[in-house]
Chains A and B, each alone.
Chain A
Amino acid sequence: MPAKPHRILLDRVSVYADEAAAFMRRRRVSRRPFARLYYPHGRSADHAQDSRAGAELFVAAGRLIEVAGKKPKR
């Protein structure tokens, strides 16, 4: 017996949602810290954490994170 049309649609949506959730999970696990600088005219450059510029950027970012503190309760 053929599946009801709305079941097909629901299955399709569920598959996409599962794929998206898996992608987000992998992204959270695999993403490494990075420092990216954007210049005029759309150019951008990444600086590794172990480079001199990268290290300075991460130190400065760490201080700002410290100043900001925890997320305020809304």
Chain B
Amino acid sequence: MTTVVIQEARARDTPGIFADMADAAPLAPPSEESAAAALEFLAEMSPDLRGAAILGPEGEVLAATEGDEDRWREDAAALFAAADEAEGVPVEQVHIATEQGEVFAIRNEGLAAVSVTDRFALASLMLFDLRSALRRLASPNFGPPGGTKSRKGED
């Protein structure tokens, strides 16, 4: 049937299409300096923020606020694993509100970010800020505000 052929063609070609799009995963992970600058900017923008980390494509910590980097890596991986397992589908964003604080996590552009805020932080703003930070990091023209362009392998 024609429909089947079209669906097959779409399935076959789709990855290629997405590889050419701007939202595809970055070719090289951003440098730790860039990630640290993005995190600093995020902390300035979000008064409710207690701590956050930006993770690379392999789940490695590119930058984190105070706290043990290994713990950030392990606990962020555990959060994403639990979230993916909930319905067997990879999640895009996570928002968990507890009595002790709120946790936000997001995947974008092949990178991931997790943040912990005080209770009643505005979820839409927090997720928007996290997504913006990851998009900026993945952008080839990324430069921290007032800083210089810096990507791993391009320095």
The residues of A with any CB-CB pair to B shorter than 8 Å are 27-28, 31, 33-40, 45, 47, 53, 56-65, 67-72, 74
Contacts and interface: CB of A to CB of B under 8 A. Distances in A.
A71 B50 contact: yes
Contacts of A68: 50-52, 65-67, 101, 116
B19 interface: no
A28 B112 CA distance: 29
Interface stretch (B7-15, B24-32, B70-78, B136-144): B70-78
A61 B72 CA distance: 11
A65 B79 contact: no
B85 interface: yes
Contacts of B94: 35-38, 57
Contact of B118 (A40, A60, A71, A74): A71
Contact of A61 (B52, B79, B89): B79
B92 A60 contact: no
Contacts of A45: 86-87
Given A35-B95, A59-B82, A60-B81, 6 more contacts: A34-B97, A53-B85, A61-B96, A67-B116, A68-B116, A71-B50
B99 interface: yes
Contacts of B99: 33
B120 interface: yes
A70 B91 CA distance: 27
Nearest to A49: B98
Contacts of A65: 50, 98, 100-101, 103, 116
Nearest to A34: B97
Interface string B104-148: 000000000010101110000000000000000000000000000
B81 to A, nearest CB: 8
B122 to A, nearest CB: 12
A65 to B, nearest CB: 5
A64 B86 contact: no
A72 B66 CA distance: 9
